[in-house]
C-alpha cells in the first residue's frame, strides 16, 4: 500500500502539485510545478542501463535541489517561518550530495533569517558540516538585518580566521554592517580589502562603498568612490543622490540628478523620491518643476510614491495650488492614505488649517484609513484654528482607532491641540491617560501649565519629569525659563541653568535667548549680560532678548547702543527687535528717536508695523502728554485700531487728567470689549483725578449694574520652592495673621522715613 508525504506551503500563487520520484510520496504546494526525486535508498536496476540511470538520477537530484531553493526563496519573500521549517525538515530527512546539501542549508538559514527567526538560522549555520562564503554572508546579512551588528562583525572575523575570503556580495554585506555599527574606520579597512582583492571595479561593490560613506556622513569619501567608478547604473546614481539629500547637501543632490539625465540614465521611482525631497528642502519651486517635467515625461505622476513626493515638495515650496493639482488629478479616489496625508500636512504646515480640516473630512467620507501621520497633521491644524469642538470630535475618532494608546506622537498632538485651545483640564486628562510618555509629552504638559493661571505647576511637572528619568530638551528648558521669568523665580532659574551643562545644551541658541530673557525679567541684568557675552555668534533672537532686557530696566542708552552694534555686525532687526527699541524710547521719553525708528521700519528695514508698534507710539506720545498728537496718530493708522491702542490712550488720559479724550477712548474700547473692567476703572479714576468724584462713583455703579467685576490684584512669592499667591484683601492664607503684622510693621517704618502713600484712588478702587 502506498504511503505519502506532503509539504503544504501557503503562498499566494496558483495551487499546483510537486510530485516526488517515488510515486508513494507527493509534495503539495502553492508555488510551482516540478518533479522532485526523493534521494531515498531506492534500488537501481543493474545491467546495461546503469550508466543512463545514474545520469538521470543526478539530473533529477539537481532539479530537486533547484526547486527546493526556489521554494526557500519564496519562504524568504513571504517571511514564513512555518513553511521554511517544513522544507528544512524535508531536507534533513533526505539524502543529498555534500554540494547540494550545503546549497540547501545556506538557503534554509537565509529564509529563517529573512523571516526574523535568526536563532533558527544560527542553529542551521552552527550544525553545517561545511561552509562556504555564501554561508558566512548569510550570517553577516542576517545579523545586520536583525540589529545584531556585533554578532555580524564576529562572523566577519571568524570567516577570515577560517581561511575564506569575502566575494563581492560578502563585501557588500560587510559594508552594510559598518553602517549599523556606525564605524567608518572599519568601513575604510574593508575598502582597502576591496581594492587589494580587485573588487573595486565591481559596480555593486563600489555602490555599497559609496552608500556606506554617505550613511556615515563621509560625503567627500563617497564622492571620491563615485567619481572613480568606471561605470554608473541607476543604483549608484540613486545612492549618491539619496546620500547628498540625507546629508543636507540638497543642491548637490539636484545637480547630480541633472548629471544622471545628461549621462543618458533614466531616473526611477527612488531617484525622484530623493531629489524631490532635496528640492523641497531647498524651497525652490522652479527646480521642482524641472523634476516634475521629467516625471510627467516618464508617465510616473500617478505612481503613489512619486506623486506623494511631488505633493510634499510643492507644499514645502509654498506652491499649494500645484500640490493640490497633482492630488486632484491622480489621487482623489485613491484608497491608500499617503497622498492624502501629504496634502493635509502641506496645508497644515503652510497655515491653511481650514483647508487641512476640510480635506480630512473628505478623506473620512471616502473611507480612506487614517494613521499616525494623518492625525498628527490634523491636530496641528485644529490647534491652529483653536476650535475646541473640532479637537474633541477628532479625539473621539482617535479613541475609536486606538492610536492614542499605542503611538505617543498622536496623543502628544492631541494634548498640544487642547493646550492651544486653553483647555488645561483636557490636556491633563490626555497626559494622565498616556501609557508611555516621552520628552514631548512632558514638555506639552509643562507648556500648557506655563500658559495658564497655574504657572507654578509647570515647575512641579518639570521636577517630576526629572525625577522619572527624562532628559529635558531645548523646548522644555525654554518653557521652564519662560515660567521662571513670568514668576520672577530667579533662584529656581539659576538651578535649572546649572542643569544645562549636565545635559549638554548650554550653547543652544534657543535656550541662550530664553536665559537672557529670564535673568532680565527676574531683575538680574548683570547675569543676562554674562549669558549674552558668552554667546559666540548671537543671532537676532539673542540680540533682541538683551536689548529688551536693557529697555525693561530703563537702560535706554545701552539698549540703543546695542541696537546700533547689532547692525554693525550685519544682523538685520525683526519686528520684535523694533518693538523693544520703541519701548525703550517710550520709557526714556525719546519722542523724536522713537518716531524716527518707527518710520524706518518700512523705509529701511522693510518691516510692516503691527498693532503692538502702533500702541507703542501712542504710549510714547501719551507719556509725554502729547495726547492730541496721539489721537491724530490713531486716526491716521492704516489698520483699524484695536482695544489695546485705545486702552493705551486711556491710560495716558488718566495720568494727564484729560477727561474728554478719556471718554472718547473708553467708548471705543467698550464698543469692542464691553465687559473689560479695566476700562471702567481707568475712566473712573480719570474723573476722580480731576475732581469729578460723582462721575467716578457713578461709573463704578454702572460697572456693578452691568455685572462687570474688577479682577483683584495678585502677587506671589516662592518660599522653599513653594509658591504663595496673595490677592487684595486676601484672608485665606494660613499665615495671614503673621503676614499682616509684618505688613503693619513695614508700613510704620516707611512712614517714619517720610513716605506718604497716594490714597487718591484706594477707596474708589474698592467700591
Distance CA(397)–CA(395), nearest Å, equals 5
Same domain, yes or no: 405 and 476:
no
Which pLDDT does position 61 carry in this prediction?
Answer: 75
Q: What stretches of 203-352 show up as alpha helix (H) in DSSP?
A: 203-215, 219-228, 234-246, 250-262, 269-282, 285-297, 304-316, 320-330, 338-349
Evaluate whether 585 touches 556 at the Cβ level (below 8 Å).
yes
Q: What distance in Å separates the CA atoms of residue 451 and residue 303, rounded to the nearest whole number?
A: 45
In which residue are the cell numbers 563585501 written? 171
Backbone dihedral region of 488: left (phi > 0), alpha (psi from -120 to 50 degrees) or beta? left
**Residue 261, CA distances (Å) to 272, 284, 290, 364, 559 in order:** 12, 20, 12, 40, 56
The tens digit of pLDDT for each residue in 530-573 reads 999 999 899 999 999 999 999 999 999 999 999 999 999 999 99
Those residues with Cβ within 8 angstroms of residue 327's Cβ, 6 or more apart along the chain or in another chain: 307, 311, 339, 342, 343
CB 9 within 8 A of CB 74: yes
Could you tell me if 445 and 532 lie in one domain? yes
- Joined together, the cell numbers standing for residue 579 give 518693538
Residue 517 and residue 489 share a domain: yes
What gap in Å lies between CA 581 and CA 543, rounded to an integer?
12
Considering the domain architecture, whether residues 483 and 506 belong to the same structural domain is answered as yes
**Would 21 be classed as within a structural domain?**
no
In 607-689, where do the E strands start and end? none
**Is 425 part of any domain?**
yes
Name the pTM for this structure: 0.72
Q: H-helix or E-strand containing 195?
A: helix 184-196
Residue 719 CB partners (closer than 8 Å, separation 6+): none
Does 309 reside within a domain? no
CA distance 613 to 578: 8
Pick from 506, 508, 511, 517: which is nearest to 544 by CA? 517
DSSP 432-450: HH-SS--HHHHHHHHHHHH
Same structural domain, 450 and 525: yes
Identify whether 417 is part of a domain.
Answer: yes
**Does 392 lie in the same domain as 465?**
no
What is the structure's pLDDT at 234?
Answer: 94
Half-sphere exposure of 365 (CA within 13 A, CB side): 8
450 and 507 assigned to the same domain: yes
Domain boundary residue among 491, 519, 536? 536
Q: What cell numbers appear for 425 in the block?
A: 483640564
Clarify whether residues 453 and 527 are in a common domain: yes
Q: Within a domain: residue 44?
A: no
| Per-residue pLDDT reduced to its tens digit, 105-161 | 999 999 999 998 989 999 999 999 999 999 999 999 999 988 899 998 999 899 988
- Distance between CA atoms of residues 43 and 252, nearest Å: 69
Are 79 and 116 within 8 A, CB to CB?
yes
Residue 44 is predicted with a pLDDT of 32
User: Considering 514, 536, 558, which residue would you say is the last residue of a domain?
Assistant: 536
Please report whether residue 485 resides in a domain: yes
Residue 517 lies in a domain: yes
CA–CA distances in Å: residue 466 to residues 387, 488, 494, 499, 510 = 33, 22, 16, 10, 20
Q: Is the residue at 623 inside a domain?
A: no
Number of domains in the chain: 2
Which domain covers residue 450, as residue numbers?
438-536
447 and 488 in a single domain? The answer is yes
Residues 451 and 388 grouped into a single domain: no
3-state SS class at 739: helix
pLDDT by 10-residue block (mean), the chain, 767 residues: 40 36 35 32 38 63 85 90 90 88 92 91 92 93 90 90 90 91 92 91 92 95 94 95 96 97 95 97 96 96 96 96 96 92 96 95 92 92 91 88 70 91 92 90 94 88 93 92 91 90 79 94 94 92 96 94 95 96 94 95 94 96 94 95 92 90 87 79 78 75 72 68 69 78 87 76 48
Tally of CB atoms within 10 A around 366: 12
Domain-ending residue, one of 407, 436, 465: 436
**Do 396 and 459 share a domain, yes or no?**
no
My answer on whether 423 and 455 are in the same domain is no
- The pLDDT of residue 707 is 72
Amino acid at each position: 500500500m502506498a504511503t505519502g508525504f506532503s509539504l503544504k506551503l501557503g503562498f499566494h500563487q496558483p495551487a499546483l502539485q510537486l510530485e516526488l520520484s517515488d510515486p508513494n510520496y507527493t509534495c503539495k504546494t502553492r508555488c510551482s510545478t516540478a518533479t522532485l526525486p526523493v534521494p531515498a535508498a531506492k534500488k537501481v536496476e543493474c545491467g546495461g542501463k546503469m550508466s543512463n540511470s545514474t545520469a538521470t538520477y543526478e539530473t533529477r537530484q539537481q532539479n530537486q535541489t533547484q526547486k527546493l531553493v526556489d521554494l526557500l526563496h519564496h519562504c524568504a519573500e513571504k517571511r514564513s517561518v512555518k513553511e521554511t521549517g517544513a522544507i528544512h525538515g524535508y531536507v534533513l530527512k533526505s539524502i543529498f550530495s555534500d554540494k547540494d546539501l550545503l546549497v540547501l542549508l545556506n538557503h534554509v538559514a537565509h529564509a529563517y533569517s529573512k523571516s526574523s527567526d535568526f536563532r533558527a538560522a544560527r542553529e542551521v549555520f552552527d550544525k553545517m558540516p561545511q561552509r562556504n562564503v555564501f554561508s558566512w554572508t548569510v550570517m553577516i546579512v542576517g545579523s545586520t538585518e536583525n540589529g545584531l551588528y556585533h554578532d555580524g562583525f564576529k562572523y566577519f572575523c571568524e570567516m577570515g580566521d577560517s581561511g575564506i575570503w569575502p566575494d563581492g556580495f560578502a563585501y557588500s554585506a560587510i559594508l552594510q554592517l559598518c553602517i549599523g555599527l556606525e564605524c567608518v574606520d572599519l568601513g575604510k579597512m574593508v575598502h582597502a580589502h576591496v581594492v587589494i582583492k580587485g573588487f573595486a571595479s565591481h559596480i555593486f561593490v563600489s555602490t555599497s562603498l559609496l552608500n556606506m560613506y554617505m550613511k556615515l556622513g563621509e560625503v567627500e569619501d563617497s564622492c571620491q568612490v563615485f567619481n572613480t567608478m568606471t561605470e554608473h547604473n541607476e543604483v549608484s546614481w540613486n545612492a549618491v543622490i539619496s546620500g547628498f539629500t540625507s546629508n543636507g547637501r540638497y543642491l548637490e543632490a539636484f545637480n547630480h540628478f541633472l548629471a544622471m539625465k545628461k549621462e543618458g540614465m533614466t531616473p526611477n521611482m527612488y531617484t525622484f523620491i530623493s531629489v524631490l525631497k532635496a528640492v523641497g528642502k531647498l524651497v525652490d519651486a522652479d527646480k521642482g518643476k524641472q523634476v516634475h517635467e521629467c516625471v510627467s515625461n516618464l508617465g510616473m505622476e500617478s505612481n503613489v510614491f512619486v506623486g506623494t513626493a511631488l505633493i510634499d515638495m510643492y507644499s514645502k515650496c509654498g506652491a499649494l495650488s500645484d500640490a493640490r493639482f497633482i492630488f486632484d488629478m491622480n489621487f482623489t479616489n485613491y484608497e491608500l492614505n499617503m497622498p492624502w496625508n501629504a496634502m493635509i500636512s502641506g496645508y497644515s504646515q503652510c497655515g491653511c488649517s481650514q483647508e487641512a480640516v476640510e480635506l480630512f473630512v473628505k478623506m473620512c467620507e471616502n473611507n480612506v484609513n487614517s494613521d499616525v501621520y494623518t492625525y498628527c497633521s490634523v491636530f496641528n491644524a485644529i490647534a491652529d484654528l483653536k476650535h475646541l469642538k473640532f479637537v474633541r470630535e477628532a479625539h473621539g475618532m482617535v479613541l475609536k482607532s486606538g492610536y492614542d494608546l499605542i503611538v505617543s506622537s498622536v496623543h502628544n498632538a492631541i494634548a498640544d491641540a487642547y493646550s492651544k485651545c486653553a483647555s488645561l483640564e483636557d490636556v491633563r486628562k490626555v497626559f494622565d491617560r498616556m501609557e508611555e510618555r516621552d520628552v514631548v509629552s512632558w514638555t506639552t504638559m509643562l507648556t500648557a501649565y506655563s500658559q495658564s493661571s497655574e504657572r507654578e505647576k509647570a515647575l512641579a511637572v518639570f521636577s517630576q519629569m526629572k525625577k522619572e528619568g527624562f532628559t529635558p530638551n531645548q523646548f522644555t528648558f525654554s518653557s521652564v525659563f519662560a515660567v521662571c521669568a513670568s514668576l520672577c523665580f530667579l533662584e529656581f532659574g539659576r538651578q535649572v541653568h546649572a542643569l544645562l551643562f549636565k545635559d549638554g545644551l548650554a550653547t543652544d541658541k534657543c535656550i541662550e535667548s530664553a536665559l537672557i530673557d529670564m535673568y532680565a525679567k527676574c531683575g538680574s541684568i548683570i547675569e543676562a549680560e554674562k549669558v549674552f557675552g558668552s554667546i559666540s555668534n548671537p543671532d537676532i533672537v539673542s540680540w533682541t532678548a538683551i536689548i529688551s532686557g536693557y529697555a525693561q530696566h530703563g537702560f535706554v542708552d545701552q539698549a540703543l547702543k546695542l541696537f546700533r552694534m547689532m547692525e554693525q555686525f550685519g544682523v538685520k532687526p525683526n519686528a520684535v527687535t523694533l518693538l523693544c527699541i520703541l519701548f525703550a524710547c517710550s520709557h526714556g521719553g525719546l519722542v523724536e528717536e522713537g518716531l524716527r525708528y518707527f518710520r524706518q521700519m518700512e523705509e529701511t528695514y522693510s518691516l510692516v508695523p503691527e498693532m503692538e508698534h502702533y500702541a507703542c507710539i501712542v504710549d510714547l506720545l501719551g507719556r509725554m502728554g502729547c495726547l492730541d498728537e496721539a489721537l491724530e496718530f490713531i486716526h491716521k493708522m492704516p489698520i483699524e485700531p484695536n482695544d489695546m491702542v485705545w486702552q493705551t490712550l486711556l491710560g495716558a488720559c488718566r495720568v494727564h487728567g484729560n477727561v474728554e479724550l478719556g471718554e472718547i477712548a473708553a467708548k471705543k474700547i467698550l464698543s469692542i470689549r464691553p465687559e473689560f473692567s479695566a476700562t471702567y476703572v481707568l475712566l473712573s479714576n480719570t474723573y476722580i483725578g480731576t475732581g469729578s468724584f460723582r462721575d467716578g462713583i457713578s461709573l463704578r455703579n454702572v460697572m456693578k449694574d452691568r455685572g462687570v467685576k474688577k479682577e483683584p490684584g495678585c502677587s506671589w512669592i516662592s518660599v522653599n520652592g513653594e509658591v504663595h499667591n496673595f490677592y487684595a484683601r486676601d484672608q485665606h492664607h494660613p499665615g495671614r495673621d503673621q503676614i499682616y503684622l509684618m505688613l503693619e510693621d513695614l508700613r510704620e517704618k516707611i512712614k517714619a522715613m517720610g513716605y506718604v502713600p497716594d490714597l487718591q484712588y484706594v477707596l474708589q478702587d474698592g467700591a
